[in-house]
Structure formats: structure tokens, C-alpha cells
Amino acid sequence: MAIQDLRSVLGWCTIIDYALLLFWFVVFILAHDWLHRLHGRWFSMSEEKFDAVHYTLMGVFKLGIFLFNLVPYLSIRIVT
């Protein structure tokens, strides 16, 4: 794979992952009660814990996007 192809793949992965993160956030905000009821069938947790778990996972996902997609993309873009 050429370096330009890798740069393109990382760029598209970054865009797609941020779109998924935005979709997750919008669904979490707009369908919060429905999501809590749905997950409440499998896991017994308070609403505060449910919110904390989702916000923590969104943060971990965002950090993963930043570290594994955006930083390598920017590094390749700067170097080449």
C-alpha cells in the first residue's frame, strides 16, 4: 500500500468514526429514555450510572479515533 493510499484510508476512517460518534451522541440525547429501558432489560443500573457509562465510552472512542486515526493521518500529511 502506498503512503498516499494509507493517508486516504486514515482520513476516511477518521471521518466515518467521527460520524458514528456523532450519531451515537444524537441517539443518546434524543432517545435517552428508550435506550435506558432497552439496556435496563439486560443490566440493572441507575440512570446516573447509565449516563456515566455512555459518556465514558464516548470519551474512550473519541480518544481512540484521535490516537489511531487522526494523529497518524496528520503525521503522514505533514511529512509528505
Closest CA to 58 of 27, 21, 6: 21
How far is 28 from 33, CA to CA, in rounded Å? Answer: 9
How far is 75 from 73, CA to CA, in rounded Å? Answer: 5
* pLDDT tens column, 17-40: 999 999 999 999 999 999 999 999
* pLDDT tens column, 42-57: 999 999 999 999 999 9
How far is 21 from 41, CA to CA, in rounded Å? Answer: 24
How far is 12 from 8, CA to CA, in rounded Å? Answer: 6
